[in-house]
Amino acid sequence: MTDQIATITSDVRSASPVESGRPEWPSVIGRMLLPVIAVGIALAGVFYAGGSWNEWTSSAAYQTTNDAAIGADVSFLSARVSGNLVSAHVADYQHVRKGDLIAEIDPREYEATASLASANVSAAKSSRANLTNQEALQRAAIVAATAQHDSALASLEQTRLEYERQQDLGQASTEQRLQQSHAAYLQAHASAESTTAAIEQQRAQLEVLRGQESLLDAQIAAQSASLATAELHREFTRIYAPFDGTVGKKSAHVGDYLSIGGNVVPIIPNEVYVTANFKETQLANMRIGQAAEVKLDTYPGTVLQGRVERMSPASGSTFALLPPDNATGNYTKVVQRIPVRIAIDDGQPLRDRLSPGLSATVTVDTRGQH
């Protein structure tokens, strides 16, 4: 009997709430609220993290971007005069030094123009020299006319005195001598006036010659300028390397006709740098002079040391051919990228093997240069 009572009591205690007809409501509600509370906490954490994300990003000691590439100030050599390309002295991807002859344009037309301009300069200088000789002759003529004038004045004075002497003699002088002395005096007076007029005429002619000096000097200057231009154009038929570097793929070949400004060949300088496009949220503590590390996809495992050399004054989109217009009403906020130029330190490995366009990953230590 005692064993049966113990068995019944155990069965009653182990019965479920459903079986007993009394559900445990607090337990059910707890199981329902727990996921809701967890989701709420998670959302709150997401919103908080989102609001503080920019602050966390900008305050990080190391800022990294893989939107970076090797760059260089590539020079595209172009024709400064038109003509047929008659010779090319370099091959694609060949290393050149400053002053090396790259290509030549047919110079014959420009040589003829220079020769004509040189002849015009010589002719203008000859005219100027001839004018100088004429002025010298004219000055000599003035001297001769002045001498004749002085002689005429002396004769005038002599005849005047003789005429006055004959007048003073009165009855002692014959009428014929008086008339002769008077006629000689008048003739000497006329001769003096004639020589005076001759001097004035010679001086006026000298002024006319001097007036031509400025005209001929201007002609010499104009012809000399034409000669300088022609010689410059003749020199432009020879295209030289402006600096040490490597030739790219040629755009023109022997026999091609080149217009002014037509591309001949690009030259990549030996000096290269890295352009890293950092997000605007990464620039709060970035300064010029801070240390940087550069990793290249081409040479994995190699780290180049450098420094921040320049920072763009505006975002990359500002310099785009068609900058965005945010006043159209369809605005979507996008994190802007700011170009940052990284100079690679001297003595770095593989520095002479870096080619523009190679992808890179850049990390800047923003703890220094504040």
User: What DSSP string describes 8-25?
Assistant: HHHHHHH--HHHHT---H
| Pairing of β 62-71 and β 273-279 | antiparallel
Give the CATH architecture of domain 75-105+240-267.
Beta Barrel (2.40)
Residues of the chain under the 50 pLDDT cut: 1-22
pLDDT of residue 262: 94
Cβ-contact 191, 153 below 8 angstroms = no
Cβ-contact 355, 70 below 8 angstroms = yes
The per-residue pLDDT for range 66-91, each reduced to its tens digit, is 999 999 999 999 999 999 999 999 99
The structural domains of the chain, with segments of one domain joined by +, span 2-44, 61-73+270-325+333-365, 75-105+240-267, 108-236
Report the candidate in 212, 16, 242 with the shortest Cα–Cα distance to residue 129.
212
Let me know if the fold of 61-73+270-325+333-365 is the same as that of 75-105+240-267: no
Cβ-contact 161, 168 below 8 angstroms = no
Cα separation, 370 vs 353, in Å, equals 33
Cα separation, 250 vs 262, in Å, equals 12
- Third-level CATH fold of 61-73+270-325+333-365: Elongation Factor Tu (Ef-tu); domain 3 (2.40.30)
pLDDT of residue 13: 47
For the domain covering 108-236, report its CATH number: 1.10.287
Which tokens go with 269?
């300088």
Instruction: Strands of the chain (E only): list them.
Output: 62-71, 75-78, 83-88, 95-96, 101-105, 238-240, 245-247, 257-258, 263-269, 273-279, 291-296, 303-311, 337-344, 359-365
Which tokens go with 244?
């040490």
Cα separation, 211 vs 9, in Å, equals 145
